[in-house]
Structure 1
Amino acid sequence: MLAVSLAFCPLSAAQAQTTAQAQPIAQSASVFVVSGVAVDASADSSAAARPIALAQGQRRAFSQLLQRLTLIEDRGRLPQPTEALLNDTIAGFEIDEERASATRYLGRITVRFRPDAVRHLLQNLRLGYAEVQSRPVLVLPVWQTAEGAKLWEADNPWRDAWKRRAEPDGLVPFVIAEASTAPEALPIDRLLVDSAQLTNLARQRNAGDTLVVAASPVSPEGSGARVEIFPYFDAGEASTDRLEPFATQGATVEEALSAAATELARRVENRWKRATRLDLDKPGQISAAAGFKNLADWVKLRDRLAEIPSIRRIEVLRLTHRDAQVHLGFFGEPQQLSVALAQKDVELRQRDGFWELGLRGTLKP
C-alpha cells in the first residue's frame, strides 16, 4: 500500500484615496451562474410542457447555487426555492439546447442569479457562505494493488472514476492527470520525494494545488467491493484542514471508485469553503505596503483587489511610481484574505511585523 503523509506619476495621499473610493468594488458574477441544468417535463403538448420544464430547471439551479456556496453541514438549513425567492434572486436564464416531441420538452439551461440578492438571502438566514473560486486542483489518481502502483498508465480505473464524476460545477475545479508517457510523467515515488515536482506539474497544467490520491482495493466480504482512499493534498497556505483516509463500498470496484471520487471532491470543496467563507461577524483591517514594477502593474493589482468578495473597502494612503500604502477593510481573518488573494496571483504576507502586498513573484524573498 502506498504510504503518504497528510498535509495553497505620483499622487498625493488625498488624491489617491479619493480615486480609490470612487472605484466601485467589483465582484465576480461567474460564481452566481449555474450552467448545464437539465430540464425535462411532459404534458398534453410540448408547448404546455415547456414552461413546466423551465420552472423546474430554475428551481434546480437555485438549489445547486446555494449548495455551491454553503457548507455540506448547512444543507438542512437551506431554503426551498419558492416562487418569491426565484423572482428575487434570478436575473435571467438562457436556453442552451432544447428538444421537443408531441408531449415532452427537454433540454439544458443556464440560469444567472443576482449576486447581491443571494448574499442578502444567506446573510438574513445567518448562513456562512463562500464565493471565492479556487484555482484548478490537479488530481493525480494512483491505483495501488498488489501488483504495484499505476498513475500514468492508460488502464487506471481510479482515473476513469474521476472522469466519470458528474457533479455540478462548484468552487473548486478539478483537472485530472491524463495517461502519459512524456518525460515529465515521473513515477509517483519521485513525485512525493520533492514537493517542487508537484508544484511544477501543477503549473504545467495551469493548476494551483495538487491532490495525490491513492485508491486501494480491499478483498470483498460477501457481495460487493470496497476501496480505501489515501489523499495527500499539496496546497500550501490553503491547507487548513487535513484530508483523512476513508473507504467506500459498491456492488463493483468501479461503483466503489465512483463513489470515492464524488466523496473526496466534496471533502476538498467543503475544506475550501471553510478556508474562504465570509464571516460577517469578524470585520478586519490591515495596512499593507504594495510593491510593483510600474503603474500598469499597480492598476492590475488594484483591479484584482477589487475582485475579492471579502474586501469591503480599499483606501490608497500613498502612491508613487513603484509602491503604495493601502488600507484594506475585509471580513474574516488575514489568513482567509491571503488564501482568497492567492487565487488571483496576489501575495499577502508579513515581514518583521509589517504587511506586504504584491502580484505573485514581485515581492522580495
Structure 2
Amino acid sequence: MLKINRKTAFLYIIILLSFLNILQTYSNDTVKSTVKDIFIEFTLKKNQDNRKNALQLSYHIGLKRYLDWVTISSQDSISSLLGSIDPSNLVTSYSIESESFSAEKYSALITVNFDIKKVEKLLKKKNIKYFAGNGPEILVLPLMSYNNQLILWDDPNPWYQSWIERPIDGNLTDFVIPDGDLEDLIIINAEDTRNLNFQKIKNISMKYDVKKVLVPFLKIDEVDGKISYLLRCFDGLSKETINIEIVKESENKGFNVVMFDILNSFTSLYDDYWVHDNLKKMESQFVIEANIIYESFKDWIFIKDIIKNSNNINSFKVSNLTTKEAYVKIRIINENKFMAELEKNNLNIKKNNNLWNIIKYY
C-alpha cells in the first residue's frame, strides 16, 4: 500500500485549498451595490417615527445616487423612474453610522445596501442601459494653474485639498489621493505632471501600486475681479485626453465652493465616461469557452495572470479546475489583440468555433 507522509499530505492539502480559493475568487464579478455617507437632516415632527422617515428618505436619495452612478440617464429620467417605484423594495439592509436629536432637528449619516439583482431587473424592464462594475483604483494628481503658475504639492493647493476632503464613497471609481509627502515631491513635480512625463508618472504609480493615473488639470485665471475655471483631464500613462471638460466663472463665490462644484461635476462625468466605455465594450464583446492545459501549479498561475490582467477581455470565470487543466469562460473585447497577447507569452491556441484549447509551449 502506498504510504504518504505527513509533509506530503499537508502539501497536497495546501495546493488543493489554493485551487479552490482561485476557483471561488475568479468566478465572481465585482459590482458595487452600497451607497455610503447619505446625510439626512430635517425638522422633527411630533407623533411621527422620525427615524423611519429618515430611512425612507435615505433609500430615495441613495437609489438616486446609485442610478446616477451606474447609468448614463439624465437626472430628469432618474427622478421620473424613482417617482414610479418604492425604493425600499430594492433595499437589502441599512446601517445608521451616526445619529443626533436636538430640540427641533433630527440628523443622521446612513449607509444603504441595495439588492443588485432587483435593481438590474428594474433597469432591464425599463430598457435602461447600465453598468454596475467597480472601476479600478486610479491615482489622481490634482494639478492646478493659477494665473499660469503651476501648483501641485505647494501649499496652498485648494484643488488638491478638495480631493482630500471629498467623500470616500462618492462614485463607482476608487480614486486614490497621493500623500504629498517628501517622497512624492522627489518622484514628480508640477512641471513633470503638466508635461505628462511618462517615467515620472510611472514611478509614482508604482509607489501607490496602481495601473492608471489621471491628471485633472484645473486652470484658473483672475482678470478684473472675475475668476474663470477650466478643467481638462489627461490619462497620465497613455497621454490621452479624457473627453471631459468643465468651464465655470465666478465673481463672489469662494474657491472652495466652486472647486467642490467642479469636483462633483467631474466625478459624475467620469462615472458616465466609465459606464459608457464599458457599455461599448459589452456591445462588441463575445464569450468563448476554453480548456487550459498546464504541467504545474506554477504554469496555471502564469497563464491565469496573463488572461486576468489583459485589457482585451471583460471577464474571466473559472468553471472547473484540476491539477492539470482548467475549464474557463472568457468574455473577449478584441479577439485579434487577445490572441496576439497570448502568443507573445508562449501560449498556443487551437480554436474550434467558440471552444479554445490553450497550452503553454516551451
TM-score normalised per structure 1: 0.69
Aligned CA-pair RMSD: 4.3
Of 261, 264, 267, the residue aligned with 1:262 is 264
Aligned residue in 2 for 1:15: none
Aligned pairs for 1:279-298 (under 5 A) are 284-287=286-289, 293-294=297-298, 297=301
- Residue 117 of structure 1 deviates from its aligned partner by 0.4
Aligned ranges 1:1-365 → 2 under 5 Å: 25-28=27-30, 31-45=32-46, 48-71=49-72, 73-78=73-78, 79-81=80-82, 85-146=86-147, 148-166=149-167, 169-182=170-183, 184-191=186-193, 192=195, 194-220=197-223, 224-234=226-236, 242-250=242-250, 251-252=252-253, 254=255, 255-277=257-279, 284-287=286-289, 293-294=297-298, 297=301, 321=324, 324=326, 326-328=328-330, 330=331, 334=333, 349-351=338-340
Kept in 1: contact 2:99–2:109 (CA 8 A): yes
Q: Secondary structure at the match of 1:242?
A: strand
Distance 2:346 2:63 in 1: 37
Aligned 8 A contact 1:137 1:207 in 2: yes
Distance in 1 (CA, whole Å) between partners of 2:233 and 2:129 is 27
3-state DSSP class of the match of 2:155? coil
Please say which structure displays the higher CA radius of gyration.
2
Does the residue aligned with 1:58 lie in a helix, a strand or coil?
Answer: helix
**Relative to structure 1, is the Cα distance of residues 171 and 256 closer, same or farther in structure 2, using a 3 angstrom cutoff?**
same
Deviation of 1:315 after TM superposition, in Å, equals: 5.1
Matched with 2:356 is none
Determine which structure has greater relative contact order: mean sequence separation of CA pairs < 8 Å that are 6+ residues apart, divided by chain length: 1
Q: Shift of the alpha carbon at 1:102?
A: 4.2
In 2: Cα distance, 1:236 partner to 1:45 partner: 59
Q: Please tell me the residue identity of whatever aligns with 2:340.
A: R
The amino acid across from 1:349 in the alignment is: F
TM superposition score normalised by structure 2 = 0.70
- Report which stretch shifted further, 49-58 or 167-176: 167-176
Q: Percent identity?
A: 14
Q: Is the 1:288–1:357 contact (alpha carbons within 8 Å) kept by the matching residues of 2?
A: no
- 1:150-195 CA-to-partner distances (Å, cap 9, x unmatched) read 2121221221233344586211122223433336332233454642
Amino acid at match of 1:334: I
Change over 3 Å in CA distance of 1:177–1:252 after alignment to 2: farther
Return closer, same or farther for 1:144/1:41 CA change in 2, 3 Å cut-off. Answer: closer
- One-letter code of the match for 1:294? K
Query: Any gaps of 5 or more consecutive residues in structure 2?
Result: 1-21, 348-359
Aligned residue identity for 1:351: A
- Name the SS of the counterpart of 2:61 in structure 1: helix
Q: How many residues align?
A: 317
Distance 2:42 2:259 in 1: 32
Quote the Cα distance in structure 1 between the aligned partners of 2:344 and 2:328. 10
Cα distance, 1:63 vs. partner?
1.0
| Cα pair distance change 1:36/1:299, threshold 3 Å | farther
Cα distance, 1:60 vs structure 2: 1.0
**Cα distance in structure 2, aligned partners of 1:203 and 1:165:** 24
- From the superposition, tell whether residues 295 and 108 of structure 1 become closer, same or farther in structure 2 (CA, over 3 Å): farther
Quote the Cα distance in structure 1 between the aligned partners of 2:126 and 2:143: 42
1:65 deviates by 1.3
- Compared with structure 1, are the counterparts of its residues 202 and 225 closer, same or farther at alpha carbon in structure 2 (3 Å cutoff)? same
The superposition leaves residues 101-147 of structure 1 with CA deviations (integer Å, 9 ceiling, x where unpaired) of: 34533211111111110111111111111112112221112222457
Q: Which amino acid in the other structure matches residue 204 of structure 2?
A: L
Secondary structure of the corresponding residue to residue 326 of structure 1: strand
Contact 2:244-2:269 within 8 A present in 1 as well: no
Separation (CA, whole Å) in 1 of partners of 2:179 and 2:342: 44
The CA distance in 2 between the partners of 1:47 and 1:105, in whole Å, is 12
CA contact (8 A) 2:150 2:191 kept: no
Deviation string 1:305-363 (CA, Å, 9 cap, x unpaired) is 9xxxx7597655x9654x646343x4xx615x9xxxxxxxxxx93317979899xxxx9
